Structure formats: structure tokens, C-alpha cells
Amino acid sequence: MRSGPVDVPSEPTRRGGPVTDVRGERSSGEVAGDGPVLRAEGLRTHFQQGESVVRAVDGVSLEVHPGEIVAIVGESGSGKTATGMSLMRLINRRIIAHQEGRVTLRTRSGEEVDLLAASDRVVRHVRGGEIGMIFQDPMTSLNPVFTIGNQIVEGIREHRSASRHEAREVARDLLRSVGLGEVERLMRVFPHQLSGGMRQRAMIAMALAGRPRLLIADEPTTALDVTVQAQIVRLLQDLAAERGMGVVFITHDLALVSRIADRVCVMYAGQVVEAGAAAEVFARPRHPYTIALAGCIPYGPSGERLNTIPGKPPNLAGEFAGCRFAARCDYAVPACSEAPVALRAVEAGRSARCIRAEEIS
């Protein structure tokens, strides 16, 4: 593992020179050169659970470009959260039995940082700075004993050189940019004094404090009612577009994916089984699992699935001879259970992990 100052990405710069304006909220996503802001290649995270090894993330590859929303969707237990946590290197090393692959973040100044190999110091710098995170429960990020204003100001000062006065100005701007009014009053309130939707917005403002180029959002709207959910989704879309910020949106809600995402990775049993442009994947799925998942729409009022796919996902602590979905698949043939199935290109911009993908349209 590398270590030392050479590992720390240099001070964030915008195209054309160093950052001089601490506020500069609108151009956080700009970077020298092109290419994805995040690229994961062959990511594996296996957990040690007693004597067993749980293959929660088992060879995931994905890319997120500036301004793009990439959804990771799948049933409960498919490895979505473990993937998101692995991308941020947030999983406690003590419970990891095995990890491999590359997660490359392209920083604001155009440097590439291999997040799995980087020192803890670099990862701490990147997290909250280049990468922001939001979760289903805002209280995961918000501290109940500090005011909203204090927390955002601290987040800003951790990642930018700003005086307290300047940071308070930026905090007010951030609160406005996530659609909150009465910002003077909000700066002084504690998280529990806000409604669920407002807390979610405040958490998004917190996540933006370091001007991230990438936002990882894990089920950020699941606990909200439908109207507030729609507002938060709209907000994330606007932020992605205005800031050129890449977003990884983790959800079990396929209907939501078709509304918010540019591209989608459908996960099953720790692997991506289909990936492509969201609108096209749902209009013409090429993997039987995506078809089955799409058949589960619509969801009930609190997000619960009204239909379920018959059968159960496999135990991720077991061995897999062939396709992991074969036992539940309407299209399965004997060959599906004989050898592992690779994710492969099945048409331009679309990949699927199915030997019969060409027959499915």
C-alpha cells in the first residue's frame, strides 16, 4: 500500500487554475480532461461470517461519468449496499475475508486515485471531499447534538480553506441550493426539529459541503412519502446536472430507477446481471431477472413490492456452479447450471449475464 504526502490528491483545482472562490458552488464537477469520475473494475468484497465466506460483491464493474445518474438496483440482499460501501472503502477491514479489484476515482484536478490501494489518509481526504454520501436515514450523517449550521460549516471547513464567516455564507448557499428556505433560522435548529423531508435535504446539503464530484446515495428516498420522494429525486437530478456531479443511486425500487437514472446496473446475488441505458433496459430487458424484477412493479404506498419473484435468492455463502439465477429462471436450460456465466456485451451499450440473452427481447 502506498503512503505519505505523495498519496494525497493535490488541492482541488478547477479548469484553468486553482480555486480562488470558496463559494464557487456551480462548477464543482468540472475537471481537466474527460472520462468517468468513478470506475470500478472486478470489485469483490467477501465477508467473513463465522466459518463461512459471504460473496456479497462478486466481480462488479461500473462507470459513472460527470453529471450522470447510475442506479444500482436489485432485491434485498443482492449486494447493493455492500457495493456502495466498498466504493467508498467504508467496510471495516476486520469483517472482510477477501477484497480485490480496482476502484478508480478521477479527482477534480484530473488525478486518478485507486481507492482500494490508497492510504487511509487519502481515503479520508477523498471521502466527504471528492465523494459525498447520503443514506436512507439522515441521522446516519447528522449529529443530533449540533445545529444544522454548525455541522455544515464544519463539513465545509474540513474540505475547503474558508474562514468561519465565509463557511457560514457557503452553508446558507448550500441550504438554499437544496430547496430550503428561512436559512437563517435553519442554521440554528437541531436535526430533530426538522421534518423528514427537510432533514433529507439538510443531509444532502451536508454531503455537498466538500463540493463532491460524486455522490453515493443509498436508498435516500425510501422512508419518505411519495410527494417528498418526488421532490428529492428532482433535487438530485438538478444537482447532478448543474454541478456535473456523478451520482450512484442505490435502490430496490425499479419504478424510481426508470424515472431518475441515465444508466442502470441490475444486481443479483452479488453480481451485475444486466447494465445499460435505464430507459432501454426497462423497455427491452435482456436478462430474465430484469424481466422478473420489472414484473414486480408497481410498489405499494410505503415502497413494498406488491408482487414477488417466485423462489428465493441463493445463499451467498454457498458455491455456484453456474448461473446464480437459474433456479428461479423461466428461461433456464441445463447448460445454465453447468458453468459460470460471464457478463458480456449483447448489443451496443448493453451487457447481460445470460447465455440466452439474444433470444430474449
Ligand X SMILES: Nc1ncnc2c1ncn2[C@@H]1O[C@H](COP(=O)(O)OP(=O)(O)OP(=O)(O)O)[C@@H](O)[C@H]1O
Name which of 47 and 325 has its Cβ closer to ligand X.
Answer: 47
Name which of 36 and 77 has its Cβ closer to ligand X.
Answer: 77
Neighbouring C-beta atoms of residue 147, cutoff 10 Å: 16
Measured between alpha carbons, how far is residue 148 from residues 151, 155, 169 in Å? 5, 11, 14
- The minimum distance between CB 85 and ligand X, in angstroms, equals 8
- The minimum distance between CB 151 and ligand X, in angstroms, equals 26
Match 433535487 to its residue by C-alpha cell.
Answer: 235
Name which of 28 and 78 has its Cβ closer to ligand X.
Answer: 78
Name which of 107 and 229 has its Cβ closer to ligand X.
Answer: 229
Encode burial over 75-91: b for 16+ CB neighbours within 10 A, e otherwise.
Answer: bebbbbbbbbbbbbbeb
How many residues lie near ligand X (CB under 6 A)?
Answer: 15
- The minimum distance between CB 293 and ligand X, in angstroms, equals 12
Q: Considering only CA atoms, which of 253, 232, 330 is closest in space to residue 76?
A: 253
- The minimum distance between CB 65 and ligand X, in angstroms, equals 23
- The minimum distance between CB 299 and ligand X, in angstroms, equals 13
Is there binding between residue 302 and ligand X (CB under 6 A)? Answer: no
Q: Which of residues 272-301 bind ligand X (CB under 6 A)?
A: none
Measured between alpha carbons, how far is residue 213 from residues 138, 202, 228, 244, 294 in Å? 20, 18, 25, 7, 31
Lay out the site mask for ligand X across 95-124 (x = CB under 6 A, - = otherwise): x-----------------------------
Name which of 77 and 246 has its Cβ closer to ligand X.
Answer: 77
* Alpha carbon distance 292, 289 (integer Å): 5
Name which of 10 and 49 has its Cβ closer to ligand X.
Answer: 49
Match 456535473 to its residue by C-alpha cell.
Answer: 244
- The minimum distance between CB 314 and ligand X, in angstroms, equals 10
Q: What phi, psi does 236 have (nearest 5°)?
A: -65, -40
Contact 116, 199 (CB under 8 A): no
Contact 118, 175 (CB under 8 A): no
- The minimum distance between CB 67 and ligand X, in angstroms, equals 25
Name which of 81 and 107 has its Cβ closer to ligand X.
Answer: 81
Q: Which of residues 15-54 bind ligand X (CB under 6 A)?
A: 47, 49, 54
Q: Which amino acid is at 314?
A: P
Q: Which amino acid is at 331?
A: Y
- The minimum distance between CB 72 and ligand X, in angstroms, equals 8
Q: Which of residues 65-94 bind ligand X (CB under 6 A)?
A: 74, 76-82
Contact 287, 329 (CB under 8 A): no
Name which of 130 and 253 has its Cβ closer to ligand X.
Answer: 253
Q: Which of residues 240-269 bind ligand X (CB under 6 A)?
A: 252
Q: Which of residues 144-183 bind ligand X (CB under 6 A)?
A: none
Name which of 83 and 151 has its Cβ closer to ligand X.
Answer: 83
* Alpha carbon distance 110, 116 (integer Å): 18
Q: Considering only CA atoms, which of 4, 23, 35, 206 is closest in space to residue 107?
A: 35
- The minimum distance between CB 267 and ligand X, in angstroms, equals 7
Match 445545529 to its residue by C-alpha cell.
Answer: 147
Q: Which of residues 304-333 bind ligand X (CB under 6 A)?
A: 316
Out of 43, 56, 214, 217, the residue judged to bind ligand X by CB under 6 A = 56
Binding site for ligand X (CB under 6 A): 47, 49, 54, 56, 74, 76-82, 95, 252, 316
